[in-house]
Amino acid sequence: MPKTFFITGVSSGFGRALAEAALAAGHTVIGTVRNAQARAAFIGLHAERAHAHVLDVTDFDAIPDVVAQAEAAAGPVDVLVNNAGYGHEGILEESSLDDMRHQFDVNVFGAVAVMKAFVPLFRQRWRGHIINITSMGGFITMPGIAYYAGSKFALEGISEALGKELHQFGVHVTAVAPGSFRTDWAGRSMVRAERSIADYDALFDPIRTARAARSGKQPGDPAKAAQAILTLVESAAPPAHLLLGSDALGLVRSKLAQMEQDISAWEALTRSTDG
């Protein structure tokens, strides 16, 4: 059955790939964009089933009106995809608190504000699927993405808890965690803090250089990710968490194995605190 999607950030990357795949599959897509030119370009993808609204997800007060306008024009939304976001790269000591606030405003507070606009609608209809695009960085970490990983860890936790709240109403929530894909995440979309402390050069400079060099050459195909998400929304029992990409699978499994080793090694001390 055709569905109506509301996807934030459809101008590029996962959002654009998913929007195009959903339109090709016969679904209706409402996308958010950053300016009127992008709005016109997106509407041009399909005369009847492509809708777009200009929205900055950090303009929290504007979100309810945009959602109301979107549903008035295109009908009830079945699937919300929180895709809008960006990556901040920088050593924590070199990155300002303002950098962190903006990272969380977009990746966490913006996503939550959009969810809060849709949750009452989904709850009252007893149906709906919320998909939050997180990252393997919401499970594993590496030097230089502390703010980004923190935002994605937060969104993973919020998604899982919200899913437990909404399950009773037949509403699903899935955190989709991609690995490395050929999007603009590590290219023009990434915000990079300036280097200032030489003590971190040996650790971080090779990481930054390698990440920039791999941009556009990552193993993941956004079009295949889009098809995977379309498969996900057809499931009657979607998971709370879904990894995308073999690199994410390997890294997360390694993290879980290391955690199990640490838990076992320190189990006696853990148990020693019981009364």
- The pLDDT tens digits for 158-211 are 999 999 999 999 999 999 999 998 877 666 778 999 999 999 999 999 999 888
Q: Would you say 52 and 42 are in contact if contact means Cβ atoms under 8 Å apart?
A: yes
Phi, psi of 205 (to 5 degrees): -55, -45
- The pLDDT tens digits for 21-37 are 999 999 999 999 999 99
* DSSP for the chain, written as a single string: ---EEEEE--SSHHHHHHHHHHHHTT-EEEEEESSHHHHHHHHTT-TTTEEEEE--TT-GGGHHHHHHHHHHHH---SEEEE-----EEB-GGGS-HHHHHHHHIIIIIIHHHHHHHHHHHHHHHT--EEEEE--GGGT---TTBHHHHHHHHHHHHHHHHHHHHHGGGT-EEEEEEE-SBSSSTTTTT-EEPPP--GGGHHHHHHHHHHHHHHTT--SB-HHHHHHHHHHHHT-SS--SEEEESHHHHHHHHHHHHHHHHHHHHTHHHHHTT--
Rounded to an integer, what is the distance from CA 1 to the centroid of its chain? 25
Higher-pLDDT residue of 185 and 240 is 240
Q: Is the dihedral of CA 93, 135, 218, 42 positive or negative?
A: negative
- The pLDDT tens digits for 54-69 are 999 999 999 999 999 9
pTM exceeds cut of 0.85: yes
Check if 148 is active-site.
Answer: yes
Among the listed residues 86, 147, 148, 200, the single catalytic one is: 148
The whole-number average pLDDT for the span 204-223 is 87
The pLDDT, as a whole number, for residue 215 is: 80
Euclidean distance between CA atoms 35 and 24, whole angstroms: 24
The pLDDT, as a whole number, for residue 184 is: 73
The one-letter amino acid code at 112 reads V
Q: How many residues does the chain have?
A: 275
Which tokens in the block code for residue 230?
Answer: 């379309």
Which tokens in the block code for residue 150?
Answer: 């923190």
Backbone angle region of 234, left / alpha / beta, with phi > 0 → left and psi within -120 to 50 → alpha: alpha
- The pLDDT tens digits for 121-159 are 999 999 999 999 999 999 999 999 999 999 999 999 999
Using 50, 70 and 90 to split pLDDT, how confident is the model at 97? very high
b/e sequence 216-246, b meaning 16+ C-beta within 10 Å: eebebebeebbbbbbebbeeeebebbbbbbe
